[in-house]
Amino acid sequence: MAERADAKLAAAARSALARIGGVLPRHLSERLESQHLIVGPAAEAADQKNDLSLFRGAIRAERKLRIAYQDADAEKTERTIWPFQIGFFESVRLLSAWCESRNGIRHFRTDRILNVEELGERYPKRRHELVKIWRELEGVTDKRS
């Protein structure tokens, strides 16, 4: 997260890691500091124009958003969405949401979101229900079980 998230979330991830490292016994803190996995810099920077904290807040509060969106063909649409997760990839960030106008789950590149408005209205499903639907549609299995 410290390498791929927006500035606020990246700072929080670095801070959390430092706090965790500070309370670990020496042998574990040394292991933490010498991890063999690294995340290198992205080939191109991901979207920095949208403050993802608005999306994260709407996800936590299960609130509807109205967005102005421009697709790859430069077509602009207005959508009311129920955001439930953000995906961080090398050069893009995807907001997964239920789209009221399409009556289904859609993925929105955050760099193509032109405007966002928090509607102050809770969406009718719970976030975990939307994640479950998304997992089923995408064929994602829970590897923890």
- For residue 105, the Cα-to-chain-centroid distance in whole angstroms is 15
Residue 145 belongs to some domain of the structure: no
Residue 144 belongs to some domain of the structure: no
Please give the residue that has the higher pLDDT: either 97 or 1.
97
- Please indicate, yes or no, whether residues 35 and 58 belong to a single structural domain of this protein: no
- Are 106 and 81 in contact by the 8 Å Cβ rule? The answer is yes
- Please indicate, yes or no, whether residues 27 and 79 belong to a single structural domain of this protein: no
- Please indicate, yes or no, whether residues 134 and 83 belong to a single structural domain of this protein: yes
- Please indicate, yes or no, whether residues 21 and 2 belong to a single structural domain of this protein: yes
Please give the residue that has the higher pLDDT: either 22 or 104.
104
- Please indicate, yes or no, whether residues 96 and 125 belong to a single structural domain of this protein: yes
DSSP 47: P
Residue 70 belongs to some domain of the structure: yes
- Are 69 and 77 in contact by the 8 Å Cβ rule? The answer is yes
96 closest CA partner among 111, 110, 77, 76:
110
Per-residue pLDDT reduced to its tens digit, 24-43: 787 776 666 666 555 656 55
- Please indicate, yes or no, whether residues 99 and 29 belong to a single structural domain of this protein: no
- Please indicate, yes or no, whether residues 58 and 113 belong to a single structural domain of this protein: yes
- Please indicate, yes or no, whether residues 31 and 59 belong to a single structural domain of this protein: no
Per-residue pLDDT reduced to its tens digit, 88-130: 887 888 999 999 999 999 999 999 999 999 999 999 999 999 9
Token representation of residue 100:
């009221």
- Please indicate, yes or no, whether residues 19 and 56 belong to a single structural domain of this protein: no
Residue 67 belongs to some domain of the structure: yes
Q: How many structural domains are present in the chain?
A: 2
Domain extent, residue 122, equals 52-138
- Please indicate, yes or no, whether residues 9 and 30 belong to a single structural domain of this protein: yes
- Please indicate, yes or no, whether residues 133 and 88 belong to a single structural domain of this protein: yes
Q: Is the pLDDT of residue 58 over 60?
A: yes
Residue 126 belongs to some domain of the structure: yes
